[in-house]
Amino acid sequence: MSLCIALAATVLTIPSTSFTLSWVHSVEKIEWREEWAVTSAGLQLKQAGVKGSGAGMEPGEGAVLEDGWWRWTPSLPPLPQLRLAASGKTPGGWTLCHDAGCMTLGMKAGEDSVISACTPSASP
């Protein structure tokens, strides 16, 4: 499996079966982090964490406080894609880290991204 990231007129293919997505809440200025798996069924959220709490930043069910982070395992079905709509109101967009490194997505308003599992091209 590979990870596909659609940006404006480009699609990046990253050979990775997992990634971490993190960002800072626009109002609370608190970091949020999610660990994802890239599977044939779609993107599976494996763990979520928030460094504190506040409006819209409440830890999930079963959260445990570890090293200043509230961490929990969400029970959600795999998603076909993640749409990151860039408002320009967050301090720095999203940081996506994978096996080969990290990249920043959505630094400016309108720099939207769509993350999905890459599907093999159908033969003509």
| pLDDT tens sequence across 22-80 | 988 777 678 899 999 999 999 999 999 998 776 667 888 999 999 989 999 999 999 99
- Look up residue 88 and give its two tokens: 């320009």
Q: Which residue shows structure tokens 């093999």?
A: 120
| CA 5 – CA 13 distance, rounded (Å) | 7
- Amino acid, res. 97: C
- Position with higher pLDDT, 55 vs 21: 21
- Amino acid, res. 23: W
124 pLDDT band (50/70/90 cuts)?
very low
122 pLDDT band (50/70/90 cuts)?
very low
